[in-house]
Structure 1
Amino acid sequence: MEKNFKMVAKTLYGLEDLLAKELRQLGASGIEKGTRNVAFEGDTGFMYKANLCCRTAIKILKPITAFNVFTEDELYKNIYKIKWEDYMEANGSLAVDATVFSKQFTHSQYVALKTKDAIVDRFRDNEGIRPDVDLDHPTLRINVHIDRNICTVSLDSSGHSLHKRGYKTATGLAPINEVLAAGIVMLSGWEGQCNFMDPMCGSGTILTEAAMIACNIPPNLNRDEFGFENWPDFDVDLYEVIENAALKKIKEFHFKIYGADKDMFLLNKANENIKNANLQDFIELKQQDFFESEKPVDKPMYLVFNPPYDERLSVTDIDAFYKKIGDTLKQGYPGTQAWMITSNMEALKNVGLRASKKIKLYNGKLESRLVRYEMYEGSRKRSKR
């Protein structure tokens, strides 16, 4: 039986607890939470499963060595010593990603370049030919992480970031990251137990992630490839077993997911993305201005949305815009649990509702808050009684 080995799943700030829970439910052991990452243990099959099934992971890394490093020369020599021929052919291609938190090493691109030089020099010295660099579709993607004086070298089993699910071919000006969208839905506590709506749905990312959560569809089922598929030891039969087992866990969903936006151009993009994910049976789209809308069904509902922040999408009067969000929620959406994410903390004050929860997240580089508003039927006191 194959021994378990250590892996590291990278994620977005604020989603570490969700990712740890996902990994635990999938069967990982030795789980340790960090900042923007979760370390865990599993075998090769679990590595395949984590890439296929984790909604809140960006990368699944497989560390192969770690060493102390104080100079550029030490970095080069230690990278050169690794038996890279065990992981790729000399006529293959590679890409190197680096992150650095160190006084000695301050430029991640330079560390990536020195790593690449050491690898290709080893192949040239030993075999007379050197691998090419291919940043888009390399045979092997390598991750170098330097924390103070400790350098960890990992194989990137994911390839492209796992937020690139494969269904999104059309986007608007400020699309939300798929991993963040899934994380927001999961943080809200919605799992398909009632109706769901995104009233400012844009190109449909939150809707699509919500539908996959409700039906327990593996989030990365539509991806073209994972990094591990190019590894010499890739076991296609094992991967198919893992994939088939995940597909058998897909479940029925008995409520409705509603999406609306006033921009028909964006709605067409949302429709295209939803069809790419084969989720059109679960999601109903409608052209509608949120500020002129009402709750589509007289039943409990989750409202989850990503309004403009006046950053990438400009708004003429952002304070008035957020005040109208609060007014619309109060007047048109009783019996809903409303969640919204924004980086505009000043505009948020104009909503005029007391948030029952605030969670710190980042949307790209923008520090943001995911806030919850409880929209009760009638008065709050009567609802509590």
Structure 2
Amino acid sequence: MENNFSMLAKTLYGFEPILARELRNMGAINVKEGVRSVSFEGDKGFMYKANLGLRTAIKILKPIKSFHVTNETDLYNQVRRFKWERYLKAEGTLAIDATVHSQVFTHSKYVALKVKDAIVDRYRELDGIRPNVDLKFPDLRVNVHIDRSRCTLSLDTSGQSLHQRGYKTATNIAPINEVLAAGMILMSGWDGQTDFMDPMCGSGTILAEAAMIACNIPPNLMRKEFAFERWQDWDVDLFETIEESLLKKTREFHHEIIGYDKSPSAVRKAKANIKNAHLEDFVKIAHEDFFKTKKNTEGKLTMVFNPPYGERLELLDLEKFYGDLGTTLKHGYPGTEAWLITSNLEALKHVGLRPSRKIKLFNAKLESRFVKYEMYEGSKKAKKNT
């Protein structure tokens, strides 16, 4: 227990409860939801485990110092006094990321520059040499967060955003973020116990995330590197032990994951990405126009997809598109729970179906709605009477 320390997992808006549940299921201590973040406690092994295994985390930060700050001189002095040599050798490299929510500090890049100056000046005073800046592959990535007058310095344990899983080599127009895809699937309640479909699969992100959820495969096994691998206390044996323990928890999957797209190039890209993720045994992708299809599986089907919004993909008639979407679901897909995300709330009105859930999410910077339509076997009235 004495080896535990505080950490902060960053996530997308609306996924805080899902990430908190993931952390509790993984064994985290003192899990508390924040805004686009969840705080928790664990040891070094758990830090490795969180980076490998969390589906809805963007970054895992390790706070190392928090203090009250009133002006830039105060910030500089507090940062310079901190013993950075515990974490970075003088000949090492560093990068600084900053986020600010303050009336005093209004420019994040300036704050990052000020923090960098304070750190390198400390080393220059101590050793006569200073670390260099390396924005791509630093030995230490420092995160600075200023909220009003409270500054928190954290070590970025992840490096590149955790949505960059490593399996996606080919992308389509307007690809969906892997963390958003995984979060939507988990939010839908699908757990691999029924068939799953993405009828407009694009480059296959939702399909890949669904297959990993179904088989309980850690999402970040294919990443080339985590930031903590360059730390002075990097423990490769512990990391490999954690990796093996997660792989032992994978499970069999006895249903179908189906992807359609009417674009031949999208189908090729999706197949390439699924193969690259070593998930081709679990996913079937076909060149189909969803509006010309019908459900061809028995039992309940869960559908999660990201249709065009008209933001980046040009559609001649968005109203007709969303109308056809509703018609296809209503007449061709009984026994289906269909979830879709869109930022085009006007187009959503033309689906012609009443959603049973409507959840606010963001796709990149686009405020969107994640909506659920329930297609019953037979009539809804008959369903209620049974």
**Aligned-pair CA distance for 1:298:** 3.0
Aligned residue number for residue 52 of structure 2? 52
Aligned residue number for residue 231 of structure 2? 231
Q: How does 1:53-202 map to 2 (within 5 A)?
A: 53-202=53-202
RMSD of Structure 2 on Structure 1 (CA):
0.9
Query: What do the CA deviations read for 1:239-279 (whole angstroms, capped 9, x no partner)?
Result: 11111100000000000100010111111111111111100
Aligned residue number for residue 309 of structure 2? 309
Give 3-state SS (helix, strand or coil) of 1:296's partner. Answer: coil
Aligned residue number for residue 13 of structure 1? 13
Task: Please give the alpha-carbon distance, in whole angstroms, between the structure 2 residues aligned to 1:184 and 1:77.
Answer: 44
Aligned residue number for residue 368 of structure 1? 368
Give 3-state SS (helix, strand or coil) of 1:41's partner. Answer: strand
**Aligned-pair CA distance for 1:2:** 4.4
Q: Which amino acid aligns with 2:242?
A: I
Q: Which amino acid aligns with 1:383?
A: K
Give 3-state SS (helix, strand or coil) of 1:232's partner. Answer: coil
Of residues 289-298 and 317-326 in structure 1, the stretch that sits farther from structure 2 once superposed is 289-298
Task: Please give the alpha-carbon distance, in whole angstroms, between the structure 2 residues aligned to 1:123 and 1:267.
Answer: 53
Of residues 306-315 and 129-138 in structure 1, the stretch that sits farther from structure 2 once superposed is 129-138
**Aligned-pair CA distance for 1:384:** 2.0
Task: Please give the alpha-carbon distance, in whole angstroms, between the structure 2 residues aligned to 1:139 and 1:149.
Answer: 29
**Aligned-pair CA distance for 1:129:** 1.9
Number of aligned residue pairs: give it: 385
Provide the identity percentage.
64
Query: What do the CA deviations read for 1:6-44 (whole angstroms, capped 9, x no partner)?
Result: 110000000000000000011111111110000111111
Q: Which amino acid aligns with 1:4?
A: N
Task: Please give the alpha-carbon distance, in whole angstroms, between the structure 2 residues aligned to 1:78 and 1:296.
Answer: 64
Query: What do the CA deviations read for 1:126-145 (whole angstroms, capped 9, x no partner)?
Result: 22222221111111111000
Q: 1:254 and 2:279 equivalent?
A: no
TM-score (norm 1): 0.98
Task: Please give the alpha-carbon distance, in whole angstroms, between the structure 2 residues aligned to 1:88 and 1:319.
Answer: 57
Give 3-state SS (helix, strand or coil) of 2:249's partner. Answer: coil
Task: Please give the alpha-carbon distance, in whole angstroms, between the structure 1 residues aligned to 2:32 and 2:299.
Answer: 40
Of residues 250-259 and 264-273 in structure 1, the stretch that sits farther from structure 2 once superposed is 264-273
Task: Please give the alpha-carbon distance, in whole angstroms, between the structure 1 residues aligned to 2:119 and 2:267.
Answer: 47
TM-score (norm 2): 0.98
Q: Which amino acid aligns with 2:349?
A: K
Q: Which amino acid aligns with 2:89?
A: E
Task: Please give the alpha-carbon distance, in whole angstroms, between the structure 1 residues aligned to 2:219 and 2:153.
Answer: 27
Query: What do the CA deviations read for 1:302-349 (whole angstroms, capped 9, x no partner)?
Result: 011000111121211111111111011011111100000001111001
Task: Please give the alpha-carbon distance, in whole angstroms, between the structure 2 residues aligned to 1:275 and 1:88.
Answer: 39
**Aligned-pair CA distance for 1:79:** 1.0
Aligned residue number for residue 291 of structure 2? 291
**Aligned-pair CA distance for 1:125:** 2.2
Task: Please give the alpha-carbon distance, in whole angstroms, between the structure 2 residues aligned to 1:228 and 1:275.
Answer: 28
Query: What do the CA deviations read for 1:137-182 (whole angstroms, capped 9, x no partner)?
Result: 1111110000000000000001111000010111112010000000
- Structure 1: segments with no counterpart, 5+ residues: none
Task: Please give the alpha-carbon distance, in whole angstroms, between the structure 2 residues aligned to 1:14 and 1:350.
Answer: 25
Of residues 82-91 and 370-379 in structure 1, the stretch that sits farther from structure 2 once superposed is 82-91
Task: Please give the alpha-carbon distance, in whole angstroms, between the structure 2 residues aligned to 1:196 and 1:29.
Answer: 33
**Aligned-pair CA distance for 1:299:** 2.4
Task: Please give the alpha-carbon distance, in whole angstroms, between the structure 1 residues aligned to 2:167 and 2:5.
Answer: 31
Q: Which amino acid aligns with 1:183?
A: G
**Aligned-pair CA distance for 1:3:** 2.2
Task: Please give the alpha-carbon distance, in whole angstroms, between the structure 2 residues aligned to 1:204 and 1:97.
Answer: 31
Task: Please give the alpha-carbon distance, in whole angstroms, between the structure 1 residues aligned to 2:108 and 2:309.
Answer: 30
**Aligned-pair CA distance for 1:95:** 1.1
Give 3-state SS (helix, strand or coil) of 1:249's partner. Answer: coil
Task: Please give the alpha-carbon distance, in whole angstroms, between the structure 1 residues aligned to 2:269 and 2:90.
Answer: 42
Task: Please give the alpha-carbon distance, in whole angstroms, between the structure 2 residues aligned to 1:124 and 1:267.
Answer: 55
Q: Which amino acid aligns with 1:59?
A: K
Task: Please give the alpha-carbon distance, in whole angstroms, between the structure 1 residues aligned to 2:230 and 2:214.
Answer: 32
Q: 1:265 and 2:257 equivalent?
A: no
Task: Please give the alpha-carbon distance, in whole angstroms, between the structure 1 residues aligned to 2:21 and 2:262.
Answer: 36
Task: Please give the alpha-carbon distance, in whole angstroms, between the structure 1 residues aligned to 2:317 and 2:41.
Answer: 50
Task: Please give the alpha-carbon distance, in whole angstroms, between the structure 1 residues aligned to 2:194 and 2:298.
Answer: 12
Q: 1:380 and 2:362 equivalent?
A: no
Give 3-state SS (helix, strand or coil) of 1:167's partner. Answer: coil
Runs of 4+ that moved beyond 3 A: none
Query: What do the CA deviations read for 1:90-113 (whole angstroms, capped 9, x no partner)?
Result: 222111111111000111111111
Task: Please give the alpha-carbon distance, in whole angstroms, between the structure 2 residues aligned to 1:269 and 1:152.
Answer: 42
Give 3-state SS (helix, strand or coil) of 1:175's partner. Answer: coil
Query: What do the CA deviations read for 1:334-365 (whole angstroms, capped 9, x no partner)?
Result: 11000000011110010000000011110011
